[in-house]
Amino acid sequence: MIKEFKEFISKGNVMDMAVGIIIGGAFTTIVNKLVECILMPIIGIISGGKSVEDMSVMVGNAAIGYGAFIQAIIDFLLVALVLFFIIKALNKAKNAVAKPEEVAPAEPEPVPADIELLTEIRDLLKEKK
């Protein structure tokens, strides 16, 4: 069972997935900081100096904080958009590598004269039968 587990873990797909998850987590942190430190302050300036995350509406004694929800949607959309562009670029690069420049098909080698003569004789014998 230990041997099977080692084979499973050492397979390329599992390792690729693990690396992808780790890089994805780090990448998500980068995009979240972009949103938190750059985009949201700009949106806050546009919205009159209010932080989007702090936006809420009072209903009776309860505050409904819709701003945090909007913040989460913006984070998600930006992460998805950046990942879309990265995957698109990777696919384009992958296709460029996978499809090398097409080479014109080579012209067939000329048939030697003796083979051509034998072929003609064979064809004439077939016609006489």
Dump pLDDT digits (tens) for 90-101: 888 888 776 655
User: What kind of fold does domain 2-100 have according to CATH?
Assistant: 1.10.1200
Q: What are phi and psi of 61, to 5 degrees?
A: -95, 0
**Separation in Å, CA 8 to CA 12, 20, 97, 124:** 9, 17, 29, 66
Confidence of residue 111 (pLDDT cuts 50, 70, 90): confident
Three-state secondary-structure class, residue 58? strand
Confidence of residue 102 (pLDDT cuts 50, 70, 90): low
Instruction: Report pLDDT for 101.
Output: 59
Judge whether 40 and 53 are in contact, CB under 8 Å.
Answer: yes
| Alpha-carbon dihedral sign for residues 5, 11, 15, 20 | negative
Confidence of residue 129 (pLDDT cuts 50, 70, 90): confident
Examine the pLDDT at 103 and tell me if it is beyond 70. no
pLDDT tens, residue by residue, 33-66: 887 788 778 877 887 777 777 778 888 898 888 8
In the predicted model, what is the mean pLDDT of the chain?
A: 80
The domain spans of the chain are 2-100
